[in-house]
Amino acid sequence: MAHPKRRQSSTRRDKRRTHDNATSGNIAICPTTKQAHLFHHAHWHEGKLYYRGRVLAEKEVAV
């Protein structure tokens, strides 16, 4: 049976174990578009970029 050459530190062990209890991000609903998105993130809907219910930018159409 293989044995480690050195003892693994508790910090290194705990870094590995943090992913065991990871949860998904919170989901918000945009008041304007009623689309689900992550909190504090802008999202695209029908060619427009929305953040907190307001339009930030629109996609330009190539002619």
Residue 45 lies in a domain: yes
Distance CA 50, CA 28 (A): 13
Residue 52 lies in a domain: yes
Residue 1 has what pLDDT?
75
Residue 27 lies in a domain: yes
Q: What secondary structure letter does DSSP report for 18?
A: G
Residue 35 lies in a domain: yes
pTM of this structure: 0.58
Residue 13 has what pLDDT?
87
Residue 14 lies in a domain: no
Please provide the DSSP assignment of 44-61 as one string. Answer: EETTEEEETTEEEEEPPP
Torsion of Cα atoms, 29 then 32 then 35 then 41, to 10°: -70
Q: What are 15-62's pLDDT values in tens digits?
A: 888 877 777 778 999 999 999 999 999 999 999 999 998 999 998 877
pLDDT exceeds 80 at position 10? yes
pLDDT exceeds 90 at position 4? no
Show the domain range for 41. Answer: 23-63
CA 56: distance to chain centroid? 20
Total domains in the fold of the chain: 1
